[in-house]
Structure 1
Amino acid sequence: MDVFLTPGDITDLPDIAIAIDVLRATSSMVVALARGAKAIIPVSALEKARELKAQNPDALLGGERESLKPQDFDLGNSPFDYEQVKGKEIIMTTSNGTKLIERMKKARQLYISSFLNVKSVAEKVIVSGCDAIGIGCAGNRGKLALEDVLCAGALIKNITSTAKKVELTDSAVVALNEYMMLGKELERVLKTVASHGKALVRKGFGKDVAFCAKIDMFSIVPVYIEGKVVRNGL
C-alpha cells in the first residue's frame, strides 16, 4: 500500500486508488451524495466548469478559489452548502481536490474518502481483494497537508486491522504513525496545527473544519465512473 503525500508524488497508479481532500472537497462530495445528489462532475479549471454549466443549466455549479465561492457559483466548498442537493448533478472545481481526482482518474477503480466515511471506504477496499492500493493526498498548493496525511493514516489503520499481510511503503508507515499519534484530537489538530485548517479558521470557516474532523458520519463510498463521482458505484 502506498500513499502519495502530494499530487506531484503520483506516477504509476495501482488498480485501486483513493483520493483525499479533507479540507474540503472530498468531505463536501461525501455530504452531497449522502444528501441525494445524483452525481458530481469534478473538473480542474474554472473555465471548464462554467462551460459545463452553460451546457447543463439545471446542474449546480460548486467549488472555490482561495477558499471562497466565485460570485457566479451556486455553491461554495463548504460541506454545509451541500445539504439541499437531492436529485441534482453538481459541477465542482476546487483548488486542490478536483485536480487530484483528475490526476488519479485513470485508476481501474477510484474511490473518494474523507474522515466522514473512512471506515466504509476501507471496508470497500478490503472486499475488493486487490493487492495494490494507492492513496492520494490533495495537499494544498502542491505541498503536503497534514489533514490529508492523517486521513490516509486512518484508512490504513482500518485496512490493516482487518486485512492480512498488508505491505506498507515508507510513506504509508508515516501516515499511519501520524494518525496513531494525533488521531484522538482531530478537531484540535485540524484547527490549530494543520496550516490549511488554520487558514480556513481565519477566513471564518472554523465550523467547516470541525465538521470535516468528524469520523464515520456516513457509510457511502463515492466512486469515480466515466467522469462522474457517484454513490456506491450506482
Structure 2
Amino acid sequence: MQLRIYFNPAELNFVETSAEDIYIVIDVMRATTTMTIMFEQGARHVLAAQSLEQALEAGQRVPGRILCGEYHTKTPAGFDFGNSPAEFARMDLTDQELVLTTSNGTRALFACPEKSIRLVGCFYNGTAAASTALALAQEKRSNIAIVCAAEYGYFALEDAACAGYLAKELLSLSSDLTIHDSIHSAMTIYENYPPAALLEKAQSSLDLLALGQQKDLEYCLSKNNSTCVPVVTGIEAETGLLRLAYPVSELVSI
C-alpha cells in the first residue's frame, strides 16, 4: 500500500488518480472539523456543495434542510448558519440534514475521483480517521491519499501539519505502507508546527482570531476528541451535492 499527500487539490489534476484509493480530505480551519462535529451532534446527513449558488438552489429545492456555509470566513446572505464548529457543538442536530458549502473544504471533496471513498479528517478526529482509512485500504488492497484543501488555491500550513500528523498515525498503525516524499515533508512540518504553534503562526488561525473566533480554534486544534469519521456515500442526483454520512458502515456505491 502506498501513502502520499497532496498539499493542494489542484495537484490531483496532474497525476493519474484512482477511484480505488482511499482519500482523507483535510480542511482543519474549519470545514472538516465542522462536519465532524455536525455528525457528533446527531446530523443524519451533510450534503456538500461546490458553490454558494449550488447550496442555495439545493436548499430551496428541499424544504427543511439547514443551509450552512461561509465565503471568506463570513456567513453568506440567505444562509441559516456559517461554518463554526463551536456553534454547531452547542446545537442538537438529531436527524437533521444540513447543506454545507465552504471556500475550500467542500471543494476539495469534489476534487477527488468521483467514485472514490472520501473520508473527512482533521486533528479533532485524527486517530479515528487514520485507523478507518487503513482498515478500508487493507480491505480493498488500495492506496491511501491525504488531500489538503489549501487556502484559496495556496498552501495552508495547518492542513499540511495535520496531514503530517495523520501520516504519523498511519505509520504507527502499519509497517506495510510505502511512503512518498510528500510524507517526509508533511511530518517535518507537523514536528515544527504542532497545534500550539499553528495557533500563533497559521494565517487561517490569525484570521479567525481577528474575527473573535477563539472557540473555533479550540476545536480545530484539539487532537483526538472524536471517533466520528464522516464519509462520502454518494451524489444526490437532483442537486449534484455530495452526500456524507456517519458511520462508515453506511457506505454505499456511488
TM normalised by structure 2 equals 0.87
- Which whole-Å CA distance do the structure 1 matches of 2:159 and 2:165 have between them? 10
Equivalent position of 1:13 in the other structure: 17
Q: Equivalent residues in 2 for 1:75-154 (5 A)?
A: 75-83=81-89, 84=91, 85-128=93-136, 129=138, 130-154=141-165
Give the AA of the match of 1:4: Y
- Which whole-Å CA distance do the structure 2 matches of 1:97 and 1:182 have between them? 21
Is the contact between residue 191 and residue 210 of structure 1 (CA under 8 Å) also seen in structure 2?
no
Q: What is the SS of the residue equivalent to 2:47?
A: strand
Give the AA of the match of 2:7: L
Q: Which consecutive unaligned segments of at least 5 residues does structure 2 have?
A: 235-241
- Which whole-Å CA distance do the structure 1 matches of 2:113 and 2:41 have between them? 24
Are 1:42 and 2:48 an aligned pair? Answer: yes
Is the contact between residue 86 and residue 219 of structure 2 (CA under 8 Å) also seen in structure 1?
no
Q: What is the SS of the residue equivalent to 2:55?
A: helix
Give the AA of the match of 1:229: L
- Which whole-Å CA distance do the structure 2 matches of 1:92 and 1:231 have between them? 16
Q: What is the SS of the residue equivalent to 2:124?
A: helix
Is the contact between residue 17 and residue 113 of structure 2 (CA under 8 Å) also seen in structure 1?
no
Q: Aligned pair in 2 of structure 1 residues 173, 107: CA closer, same or farther (>3 Å)?
A: farther
Equivalent position of 1:161 in the other structure: 172
Runs of 4 or more consecutive aligned structure 1 residues displaced over 6 Å after TM superposition: none
Equivalent position of 2:223 in the other structure: 215
Is the contact between residue 3 and residue 171 of structure 1 (CA under 8 Å) also seen in structure 2?
yes
- Which whole-Å CA distance do the structure 2 matches of 1:200 and 1:13 have between them? 34
- Which whole-Å CA distance do the structure 2 matches of 1:208 and 1:21 have between them? 13
Is the contact between residue 86 and residue 215 of structure 2 (CA under 8 Å) also seen in structure 1?
no
- Which whole-Å CA distance do the structure 2 matches of 1:143 and 1:105 have between them? 21
Q: What is the SS of the residue equivalent to 2:193?
A: helix
Partner of residue 174 from structure 1, selected from 179, 185, 204: 185
- Which whole-Å CA distance do the structure 1 matches of 2:54 and 2:87 have between them? 21
Percent identical pairs in the alignment equals 29
Q: How many Å apart are 1:105 and its aligned residue?
A: 4.9
Q: What is the SS of the residue equivalent to 2:179?
A: coil
Give the AA of the match of 2:181: D
- Which whole-Å CA distance do the structure 1 matches of 2:44 and 2:132 have between them? 21
